[in-house]
Structure 1
């Protein structure tokens, strides 16, 4: 069900927040790729212990370019 929920481009932020805390890395990766992700969630997922999750978060183009740059610098990437 959670994987299907992540296919919804308009998934509410509270649901994304809850899914970003999932124990399963593939769920967190889905959140990292989501087009409706917030900057705060993106920053959090950039420090995920699973490298693929960090890659997905870094590749997300949802934030504006200037915000993306700031987020990546803050994450040490």
Structure 2
């Protein structure tokens, strides 16, 4: 998959949200599918901050929801996930 990079007139957050929106439209991401933050930062080549903001935008559009798991992931941090609605 191509890395998401900033382009003229388009923020990284907008590009991430656009990429995820397109994957939802194409059926590559389906309702109930979990999006694990660490996986997506690697796949899209972005840091957590912009990814979280993009997922927040999708949630405000009714396309996703987010939660934190109780089980810690590697490094002792809680694992943040989002789900496609």
TM normalised by structure 1 equals 0.35
- Give the structure with the larger strand fraction: 2
Larger Rg: 2
> Greater helix share, 1 or 2?
1
Flag the structure with more relative contact order, 1 or 2, with Cα contacts below 8 A and sequence separation at least 6: 2
Scaled by the length of structure 2, what TM-score is found?
0.33
